[in-house]
Structure 1
Amino acid sequence: MRLNRSVTAVAAVGVLLLATACGSSDSSDPASATGLNPPDLKAQSKLGKSEGQVNLIAWAGYVEDGSNDPKVDWVSDFEKQTGCKVNSKTAASSDEMVKLMKTGDYDAVSASGDASLRLIASGDAAPVNTGLVPNYKDVFSGLKKKDWNSVDGQMYGIPHGRGANLLMYNTEKVKPAPTSWSAVFEDASRHKGKVTAYDSPIYIADAALYLKSARPELKIKDPYALDQKQFDAAVSLLKKQNANVGEYWSDYLKEISAFKSGDSVVGTTWQVIANLTADEGAKVKAFVPDEGSTGWSDTWMLSAKAKHPNCAYRWMDWIISPKANAQVAEYFGEAPANAKACEETSVKNFCDTFHAKDEAYWKNIAFWNTPIEQCLDGRTDVKCVPYAKWVQAWTEIKG
């Protein structure tokens, strides 16, 4: 399947797009340093008049107004219908989003799971009244009231889309066909120098997910809730893997090029990258291994200091409306959040390719979350390793 954008378009947004969850963490962030104890904020009770504008922080490709590509525009109609002029800033990392939200200059942000709990715990994100977002009713149930976008049943945002981190391999070079993440961990030496891995501290969770099955004695329940022993085991595995890694990727085109040239033959990827790599002629397959996979789900979160909350609510409803959600899902390369968006995609089998409606598929995906000392798996007898320590460890892992 050819995505509804060219490699040239990918090049224009790839570096920023792939930076999701990549930056360093601020150890002063409440959710990163301690536990999740959000302040008692109240959700907006009713929708008021439009304020005339809305200021957004977003990943590249999420707020398109035709300036990057005249054919790609879901902002102009929103502005015409609501009277809310959209001002958007593209962020290059989750940490940048967190810092920008603290300024109070922005009304909403398209936060990934490794940023959302930090925003909630610090009081920078406000609880959301989903009753003020009519299209929320059509959001897939698998995206509602999850650990990364809610607290005690209270939603702190509106789901935007989701994707899985897959295992991709060269079908001519990697035989027999792998079925497990052991291909990039325990068996990585078989392809020394040609293994690739995602360049982010959150990748530690991929190692933890593998160890959950490979070393049951560690008793890992949640790859984002690791006590010191569990964390040390994941870090140790990644340090061993490092000797076999040819490249850590954070750039769309670099991974495509590496698989095309043969410099990489096995490693973690996204569905959109696998599609483009195959389109470029590389003999590859990508899938969810036996252990399951990690993944990402982005959420539009409302600033607790929003100066234009009514326009922000209108934006959150618009971006998950069937047509707009279909447009952004195809452009970015992800499964849409709204079930009705599948009827609006320009590529007929788009939602099948991205498993949009397959909730059984998503049950095997451990979506990115923010590691905090208050163990996310419910344990109270130990402290878990917070995200700031993940960042420090990632630097050591890569040497």
Structure 2
Amino acid sequence: MMRTPRTARRGATVGLAIGSIALLTLTACGTTSGDSASTDETLTELGDAEGQVSILAWPGYVEDGSNSPDVDWVTPFEEETGCEVTSKTYGTSDEAVNLMKTGEYDVVAASGDATLRLIAGGDVAPVNTDLIPNYEGIFDFLKEKEWNSVDGQSYGVPHGYGANLLMYNTETFAEAPTSWDVVFDKAGENAGKVTAYDSPIYIADAAVYLMAHQPELGIENPYALDEEQFQAAVDLLKVQRESIGEYWSDYLKEIQAFETGDSVVGTTWQVIQNVLAGSGASTDVVLPEEGATGWSDTWMVASDAANVNCAYMWLDYIASPEANATATAYFGEAPSSQEACEYREDCEAYHAGDEEYASQIWYWTTPIAECVDGRTDVECVDYAQWTAAWQEIKG
């Protein structure tokens, strides 16, 4: 069984209220005020290593052998660069954003529900990818996206990624489902045994479904919902609530629920299916025809990094094929480059490098009032309102 700390990581990442997000608006340079880093402040050349670097990251992203002697990709970095690593883990994106404001960290690993806030708050700097040789090998479909760049300016280096898949019990479903309708319009057929991800960001899953089944709503991006579109997604989830046995955010609890048969269909991650398959459970996963939500994490450099040279060295190192392969495999996600697959035997299971597959994933992005789909004639519903609505949906 692959070790992964995802329980503490994904479940809590997007589950808390973000009252301040209502005020977040990105301008062309990705900031709300002039104190944020701008594109002309990017580093132009590297200097000597400072001898240390402070990293803020999700559990499992910066392993130095202290948790498990055979899991260590930090020591090779320190030996190679002379940059001694100190690290701190966090449990939610809100926590990460707050910690970055202390100015104590040089590097942060951030998910899409935090990156725009870090950029807008001036907490992270634009990144000069020319100074990161391993950036070139990263899959193009992960570069310069709305969650890791602004107007073509990169604000970080993509790390691992994955999709929120549909899991089903193969004894309950004689044929593999092809649509999310089994957890929405047809959820009643398995009432009490449907499961869904416990987070406000799950509203985007409903929006993905509506994009295909109610095109008249005009949804172009599940994280850019105007009031009418948002209400349609909320209404769909309120109906679904009647068939939900339990919402999950705990990795182990979902495994147990599918093993016992308490859950027979719902959202999941590939790594969870890997564990269940290893135990002989009657489950399988599919990426439905409507597509799915997912995540793509980004390594970012603090705008006031005290050790900027070592920070850049870390970004290059963690994007190197072997280090990236080791870190993403430990965590349970696809690596960021094809070369990394030379050091992994499970890339096919994670559809690593499959651009067509990746194009069906809507990666988590912070919903903000300024619509991330580019619309300027309406105001979109921000994440604070998503959080309030989620509590109402769950009752």
Paired residue type of 2:18: D
Of 349, 359, 362, 1:363 maps to 359
Superposition map of 1:379-394 within 5 A: 379-394=375-390
Q: Could you tell me whether the CA contact under 8 Å between 2:52 and 2:85 is conserved in 1?
A: yes
Q: Could you tell me whether the CA contact under 8 Å between 1:17 and 1:61 is conserved in 2?
A: no
Paired residue type of 1:36: L
Superposition map of 1:103-118 within 5 A: 103-118=102-117
1:125 alignment partner, SS class: coil
Kindly indicate whether residue 166 of structure 2 is the aligned counterpart of residue 167 of structure 1.
yes
CA distance in 2, matches of 1:224, 1:195: 24
Q: Could you tell me whether the CA contact under 8 Å between 1:21 and 1:115 is conserved in 2?
A: no
Of 19, 26, 44, 2:11 maps to 19
TM-score (norm 2): 0.95
CA distance in 1, matches of 2:6, 2:211: 32
Task: Provide, for residues 161-220 of structure 1, a one-character-per-residue CA deviation record: whole Å limited to 9, x for no partner.
Answer: 110110000010134432111111111111111111111111110000001111111110
What is the CA-CA distance between 1:376 and the residue it aligns to?
1.1
What is the CA-CA distance between 1:20 and the residue it aligns to?
5.7
Q: Could you tell me whether the CA contact under 8 Å between 1:14 and 1:253 is conserved in 2?
A: no
CA distance in 2, matches of 1:21, 1:278: 26
TM-score (norm 1): 0.94
What is the CA-CA distance between 1:40 and the residue it aligns to?
5.0
CA distance in 2, matches of 1:208, 1:226: 8
Unaligned runs of 5+ in 1: none
Q: Could you tell me whether the CA contact under 8 Å between 1:163 and 1:297 is conserved in 2?
A: yes
1:193 alignment partner, SS class: coil
Q: Could you tell me whether the CA contact under 8 Å between 1:295 and 1:367 is conserved in 2?
A: yes
* Aligned match of 1:291: 290
2:11 alignment partner, SS class: coil
Total equivalences in the alignment: 386
Q: Could you tell me whether the CA contact under 8 Å between 2:37 and 2:125 is conserved in 1?
A: no
* Aligned match of 1:244: 243
Kindly indicate whether residue 52 of structure 2 is the aligned counterpart of residue 53 of structure 1.
yes
Kindly indicate whether residue 32 of structure 2 is the aligned counterpart of residue 36 of structure 1.
no
* Aligned match of 1:182: 181
Q: Could you tell me whether the CA contact under 8 Å between 1:33 and 1:388 is conserved in 2?
A: no
What is the CA-CA distance between 1:259 and the residue it aligns to?
0.3
* Aligned match of 1:353: 349
Paired residue type of 2:15: G
CA distance in 2, matches of 1:281, 1:264: 16
Q: Could you tell me whether the CA contact under 8 Å between 1:23 and 1:96 is conserved in 2?
A: no
Greater displacement, 40-49 / 267-276? 40-49
What is the CA-CA distance between 1:398 and the residue it aligns to?
1.1
CA distance in 1, matches of 2:89, 2:237: 31
2:347 alignment partner, SS class: helix
2:164 alignment partner, SS class: strand
CA distance in 2, matches of 1:244, 1:57: 39
What is the CA-CA distance between 1:106 and the residue it aligns to?
1.0
Q: Could you tell me whether the CA contact under 8 Å between 1:132 and 1:313 is conserved in 2?
A: yes
* Aligned match of 2:129: 130
* Aligned match of 1:324: 323
RMSD: 1.3
Aligned-pair identity in percent equals: 59
CA distance in 2, matches of 1:64, 1:151: 30
Paired residue type of 1:322: P
What is the CA-CA distance between 1:300 and the residue it aligns to?
0.4
1:384 alignment partner, SS class: coil
Distance 1:65 1:251, change over 3 A: same
* Aligned match of 1:228: 227
Q: Could you tell me whether the CA contact under 8 Å between 1:21 and 1:202 is conserved in 2?
A: no
CA distance in 1, matches of 2:365, 2:299: 15
CA distance in 1, matches of 2:15, 2:191: 27
CA distance in 2, matches of 1:228, 1:121: 23
1:88 alignment partner, SS class: strand
CA distance in 2, matches of 1:251, 1:40: 37
Paired residue type of 2:379: K
CA distance in 2, matches of 1:354, 1:14: 16
CA distance in 2, matches of 1:391, 1:99: 18
* Aligned match of 2:75: 76
Paired residue type of 1:21: T
Q: Could you tell me whether the CA contact under 8 Å between 1:165 and 1:293 is conserved in 2?
A: yes
Paired residue type of 1:251: D
Q: Could you tell me whether the CA contact under 8 Å between 1:43 and 1:128 is conserved in 2?
A: yes
Kindly indicate whether residue 201 of structure 2 is the aligned counterpart of residue 202 of structure 1.
yes
CA distance in 2, matches of 1:150, 1:20: 24
Paired residue type of 1:278: A
CA distance in 1, matches of 2:129, 2:199: 32
CA distance in 1, matches of 2:237, 2:52: 46
